[in-house]
Amino acid sequence: MRRRTGVVCGAGVVAAGLLAGHGLVPQTAVRAGSLLETFLPWVGLAVPVLLVVAAIVRSWTALAAALVPAVVWAVLFGPLLLPAADARGAGLVVAQHNVSDENADPAGTARALRDAGPDLVALEELTPAALPVYEATLADTYPHHAVDGSVGLWSRHPLRDVRPVDLRPAGLSDPGWRRGLRATAATPHGDVAVYVAHLPSVRIGASGLRSAWRDESARRLGRVLAAEPLERVVLAGDLNSTLDDRALSPVTDRLTGPRTGLAFSWPASLPLARIDQILSRGGTITGVRTLPATGSDHLPVVARVAFRQVRSA
């Protein structure tokens, strides 16, 4: 019994340490830190296992040890489980979706996004064949739109100052790789700089997490956001990262994410992480949620952005 109690105590300390000290896990060649942080909430699955073992060995010490990671998890992720404000309320409602370049039903996907009633719709993995379908389906509700490469933005409000954002990593030579754009949306809340971005994919294999291109694109995006002169900013995109991943810090140091709602978006068949993000500067992200599955391997994400009053000149 003492040996089993010791195992539970040791496992509880390790689980709590990984949750609270994930930033101390070194990246090394396998990018262990980012790999852990991508799926960090799931470390909490250790808690029910440890509680069952503690009950079997009938040890109060083991029970206390099992509760330590539970408390840490509750501090880190408990607020995300609180009820969120209605994403359809006041503010700017934004929908973000990687529609997949293999989507067999772009019209159905476009209708699902339109019917959710957002003010802005940001899409990634647009293909030349599917683009006319999205344009035709969304045109009546969203008379203003901009597309560059495989990313696009549809808006109820006028767009201006549209320009591409170069996120291409240095090692990627394809000039057709265009996955970022920026536009100014003239909304009832004032001018908002809206960015749509699709960072490079990562691969998980025997050698760990391969994320060098994504990490470089995140740094490029962070520099662009740092230079953005408008006070109100919205970023919507498939960042191929969770907000816990330190590799995304060049972006998350400048923008904030939702305070409530897990809204896991990938993979659509069994969502394990939210890698599709809606972030803001000068506003608060509330009411984040996912929509039902479309023809994509990602779920659409919808959130409301409540903007603060801009300071008077």
Q: Where are the domains of the chain?
A: 2-81, 92-307
**pLDDT at residue number 82:** 75
Q: What is the largest CA-CA distance in the chain?
A: 70
Alpha-carbon span 117 to 127, nearest angstrom: 24
**pLDDT at residue number 87:** 46
Alpha-carbon span 175 to 160, nearest angstrom: 25
**pLDDT at residue number 90:** 60
CA distances in angstroms from 285 to 32, 145, 261, listed in the order given: 29, 23, 10
**pLDDT at residue number 313:** 39
Q: Is the pTM of this model over 0.85?
A: yes
Alpha-carbon span 282 to 234, nearest angstrom: 9
In terms of Cβ atoms closer than 10 Å to its own Cβ (0-12, 13-18, 19+), residue 76 is middle
**pLDDT at residue number 85:** 55
**pLDDT at residue number 86:** 52
pLDDT tens track of the chain, all 313 residues? 678 788 889 999 999 999 999 988 888 766 788 888 888 999 999 999 999 988 888 888 889 999 999 999 999 998 888 766 554 446 899 999 999 999 999 999 999 999 999 999 999 999 999 999 999 999 999 999 999 999 999 999 999 999 999 999 987 878 889 999 999 999 999 999 999 999 998 877 655 567 889 999 999 999 999 999 999 999 999 999 999 999 999 999 999 998 788 899 999 999 999 999 999 999 999 879 999 999 999 999 999 999 876 554 3
CATH class given for the domain over 92-307: alpha beta
Other Cβ atoms closer than 10 A to 139: 12
**pLDDT at residue number 206:** 59
**pLDDT at residue number 309:** 63
Alpha-carbon span 184 to 163, nearest angstrom: 10
Q: 76, 47 in Cβ contact below 8 A? A: no
